[in-house]
Every structure is written in structure tokens, then in C-alpha cells.
């Protein structure tokens, strides 16, 4: 198992691929990227060890706020990557980073690198 595990919750396969590519470009094969498309799948993955997470808000079976709350309680850094408006996020979760779609892959990569403390930089190999 990789030391760096990044959960990506996104139900649009093209957007998921963009996020995955942005993270993989920074972290290479040193990270395990876990891509899921539903709250149920995200809930299962969030119960395991994660370095950080990128959450779309509206996915196949609902909103990811419950998953975000669980991540927040366990201290796992996460960001919302969503077309929803930031004010739609429940107040207890509004401190989370919010990347509005359409997002910059640079923003996604920067969040992940900050969340993992730069441990995955290729230059550190």
C-alpha cells in the first residue's frame, strides 16, 4: 500500500480523469489514487487510511457532506471540487477549501501537495 492515499469522489468520468491526472502528475507512482463515484463508495474508503480527499458535492447517490464531516472529525484534509455554490455547504464544513468548477488542475495539485505536506514531490525521490 502506498504511503500517500488520495480519495477522489467524482461521478463525471471526464472530470474524475482530469483530477486524477493532475494529482498523478505531481505524485507519480508514490500515491494510490482512489476514484469513486458515489457517497456509499466514498463512505467505505473514508473509513480507511487517507492522506487527503477531493470531493464533488453532488454525486450519484446524494451529497458528500456526511463524508466531509467524517473526514473533518478524523483530521483528514479535504477540499470540495464542485459546481455548487460555496454557500450551499453546511456551516460546520465551510472552513474546507472550495475549488469551483471549472477548476484549474494547478489548484487541485496545489491543494493535494499542501495537504500532504509536500511529501510526494517527484524532486524528493
pLDDT, one tens digit per residue, over 79-118 is 999 999 999 999 999 999 999 999 999 999 999 999 998 5
In tens, the pLDDT along 24-80 reads 999 988 899 999 999 999 999 999 999 999 999 999 999 999 999 999 999 999 999
Cα–Cα distance, 71 to 38 (Å, whole number): 16
Give me the chain's average pLDDT, please: 92
Cα–Cα distance, 11 to 115 (Å, whole number): 23
C-alpha distance across the termini of the chain, in Å:
17
- Quick one: what percent of the chain has pLDDT higher than 70? 93
pTM: 0.91
pLDDT at 118 (0 to 100): 52
- For the chain, which domains are there? 4-119 (3.40.50.2300)
Neighbouring residues of 24: CB distance < 8 A, sequence distance ≥ 6? 31, 33
Band of pLDDT at residue 1, cut at 50, 70 and 90: low
Neighbouring residues of 6: CB distance < 8 A, sequence distance ≥ 6? 23, 27, 31, 32, 33, 34, 50, 51, 52, 53, 54, 112
Amino acid at each position: 500500500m502506498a504511503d500517500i492515499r488520495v480519495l477522489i469522489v467524482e461521478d463525471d468520468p471526464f472530470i474524475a480523469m482530469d483530477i486524477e491526472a493532475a494529482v498523478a502528475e505531481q505524485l507519480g507512482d508514490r500515491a494510490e489514487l482512489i476514484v469513486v463515484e458515489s457517497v456509499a463508495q466514498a463512505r467505505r474508503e473514508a473509513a480507511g487510511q487517507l492522506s487527503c480527499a477531493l470531493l464533488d458535492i453532488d454525486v450519484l447517490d446524494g451529497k458528500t457532506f456526511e463524508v466531509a464531516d467524517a473526514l473533518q472529525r478524523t483530521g483528514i484534509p479535504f477540499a470540495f471540487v464542485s459546481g455548487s455554490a460555496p454557500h450551499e455547504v453546511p456551516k460546520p464544513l465551510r472552513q474546507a477549501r472550495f475549488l469551483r468548477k471549472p477548476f484549474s488542475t494547478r489548484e487541485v495539485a496545489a491543494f493535494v501537495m499542501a495537504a500532504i505536506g509536500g511529501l510526494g514531490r517527484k524532486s524528493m525521490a
